[in-house]
Structure 1
């Protein structure tokens, strides 16, 4: 009988420990749910901001990366195609075959002075 009473005490202690652990886990779950709700709100804000910013990008326009003698420029394909028949327009059109040995990262390499390129680009009103 004493053995049974001892086992009952041990079981009661284990039950108390489990109930305390259950309360701790419930608090953790509540905290995590609150954190998730905050993150959902942040995500909604970012999604709305992304949608607002996308209104300024022409539909289907792609950003191209130019490597002008080592200086990197990022421009919209439509910007390069503004002057029909120009070298830049032809490069952006995809009709000009990529030269062998071009970088595999998708950059279009231009062998010209980046300082002059930036000035002419700024002068044309294509960038600020």
Structure 2
């Protein structure tokens, strides 16, 4: 058959890794990037690799220069969706303060995986 046409391939970068790269370029010193969304991704280039536990969603990603980046992750967005049960509306600073004052806390895990895979999520505190 005919020879195929050349195709240009352009690499992309994940938003968490792009943020890490941008902050590193600012030469701020040691840093940790916390990127939130469906996944909460925490990148800490200074974390020793030997402390990572793959059973707790700790892994080594690769930065834009090919270097190792210790990473932990959990499905924070999904956890929020489970806890909020689809509730939509404004959250006032006063409402947030009432929750804090009442000692109400959500303890992991409401979604599978993450750093506490064997723990069943619960909301504690309050009157």
Question: How would you bin the TM-score normalised by the shorter chain?
Answer: under 0.3
Q: Choose 1 or 2 for highest CA Rg.
A: 1
TM-score relative to the length of structure 1: 0.21
